[in-house]
Structure 1
Amino acid sequence: MLSFSLWSCSGDQEQAQADVSVDAELEAQILQVIRDNPQVLIDSVQAYQLSQQQAQQQTATDFQAQLTSNPEAVIGDSPTLGSEEFNVVLIEFSDFECPFCARASETLKTFIEQNADTVTLAYKHLPLVQIHPQAIAAAEASWAAQQQGKFWEYHDQLFENQGQFNEELYQRIAQDLGLDLEQFEADRQRARPAIDEDLTLAQSLGLNGTPFFILASTETGNVETFSGALDLQEYEAKLAAVITP
């Protein structure tokens, strides 16, 4: 079951509200029915919540099964580091404005370097726009850098400059990395569908905090889900758990 630790950034998903005109007499009748039968409303809400939880759990189960059987399909066009074999895959959902993601990125770099022949790290965007106003813009800039083969370099620069996000910074990093600036700007404009695809996946899994990780082995079928900025020993322990039959 997917869960979260306290050491992560989180934000409620946006809720769309529609203006609905309700006849005053009908509204009064509905309110009276609710007053006369409060348990019916409670039961309905609980049943709805249960159905939502069950659907979410099934989605998570299906996702984990696909990750262990066909990791390439889950990774898609997401940037990767480490092994090219996809025997052990670590999916990371992250937000460039999240301080815990920045902390995790430092440890992850060492973890992947030490396990480059075993583990594949795949990055998925989960910008928490409710609490991080520059999260989308930073994600778009990193995606544009990815189109020129510089995602991870741009990724590192964003985390190193967290708290300073603005248009000048995005341009400066692109220039420092030797990117074609005209192509970079064009790619930023077409980055949103790819980011929205990651967001849709995260929402279907019920994720609303970062960083969040799903670690899976295609050989054993074992899966570990966890969140927050872990230390190196904890990542190693998670790896040992999934590769042990």
Structure 2
Amino acid sequence: MTERSEYTKFYLGLAILAVVIFFVFILFGYAIVERNKPKSEADSGKKINTDTGPDPLITVVPEQYQNYDTTQLTISANDPKRGPTDAAVTMVIFSDFQCEFCKDARDTMYQLEKNFAGKLQIVWKDFPIPRVHPEGEPAAIAARCAQQQGKFWEYHDNLLENQTLLGNDLYTKIAQTLALDMDSFSSCVNNKTTQGLVQKTFIEGVALDISGTPFFFINKTRVSGAQSYSNLAGIVQQEIDKAALEIPAP
């Protein structure tokens, strides 16, 4: 009985050892597989692109357009403008030609311009987001090419009136309707001569935490999204009243 008991213990020990070795090999193999498995975006530390950041379809803005203060809104000589430069209120609109709500914002903007004549200046800044509106940037480039011939606002209106038709054929047709120099316009569009201007204001908007269009700055007041005429008019009037109370420096 004693000899049989010793044999039983011996074989039981071998069985336990075999099981332990088996599990060690399994764990070792799993570690190798996990080490060689490709990492997900979250594991690798990559950030998922959102509409609030620079769009990957927009290339890096040329160096000559990077020299501006991104901590506050700036208005450059290249930004299209309407109204008196000494107006009490400046309304800056970041907009996208393919944005449905931006067409409504245009109508409201013109109504404000009419009702606050002489007191309101309007400034346009491009903020196309190709991930959402693939024709936003090409349309903006074409409009800036029209700006070179003094026809930005006319071109701007035609684009917004024909949002469902945005494309090269429409860009050419509008230019012809406005009697632009077609050789100059076509060269500008084909070479994307004004792309840097469009990209500059897009990156400026991102730096100002703008995440969508339309977006307004009424003097220093930030207003996001489509707004009723009464809401915007109320803010404009407040800014006019505020300016009237300011005491001019001696």
- Corresponding residue of 1:192: 195
In 2, Cα distance between equivalents of 1:208 and 1:201: 12
In 1, Cα distance between equivalents of 2:55 and 2:138: 21
Q: CA deviation at 1:86?
A: 4.1
Of structures 1 and 2, the one scoring higher in RCO (CA 8 A, sep 6+) is 1
Decide which of 224, 229, 233 is 1:232's aligned counterpart. 229
Q: Do the aligned partners of 1:12 and 1:130 also contact (CA within 8 Å) in 2?
A: no
Q: Do the aligned partners of 2:126 and 2:201 also contact (CA within 8 Å) in 1?
A: yes
Q: Indicate whether 1:215 and 2:218 are aligned.
A: yes
Instruction: Give 1:196's aligned amino acid.
Output: Q
In 2, Cα distance between equivalents of 1:103 and 1:15: 25
**Post-superposition, which runs of at least 4 consecutive aligned residues in structure 1 deviate over 6 A?**
none
Q: CA deviation at 1:244?
A: 2.8
- Corresponding residue of 1:84: 85
Q: Do the aligned partners of 2:119 and 2:240 also contact (CA within 8 Å) in 1?
A: no
- Corresponding residue of 1:155: 156
In 2, Cα distance between equivalents of 1:205 and 1:113: 29
Larger radius of gyration: 2
Q: CA deviation at 1:15?
A: 6.7
Taking structure 1 as the reference length, the TM-score comes to: 0.68
Instruction: Give 1:212's aligned amino acid.
Output: F
In 2, Cα distance between equivalents of 1:142 and 1:197: 15
Q: CA deviation at 1:229?
A: 2.2
Q: Do the aligned partners of 2:218 and 2:236 also contact (CA within 8 Å) in 1?
A: yes
In 2, Cα distance between equivalents of 1:172 and 1:141: 11
Q: Do the aligned partners of 1:11 and 1:208 also contact (CA within 8 Å) in 2?
A: yes
- Corresponding residue of 1:36: none
- Corresponding residue of 2:241: 244
In 2, Cα distance between equivalents of 1:15 and 1:158: 22
In 1, Cα distance between equivalents of 2:149 and 2:114: 23
Gaps of 5+ in 1: 1-9, 17-58, 65-72, 217-222
Q: What percentage of aligned pairs have identical amino acids?
A: 31
Structure 1 pair 119–75 and aligned structure 2 pair: CA distance change class (3 A): farther
- Corresponding residue of 2:178: 177
Q: CA deviation at 1:141?
A: 0.6
Q: Do the aligned partners of 1:79 and 1:123 also contact (CA within 8 Å) in 2?
A: yes
In 2, Cα distance between equivalents of 1:77 and 1:86: 18
Instruction: Give 2:75's aligned amino acid.
Output: V
Instruction: Give 1:11's aligned amino acid.
Output: D
Q: Do the aligned partners of 1:94 and 1:101 also contact (CA within 8 Å) in 2?
A: yes
Q: CA deviation at 1:243?
A: 2.5
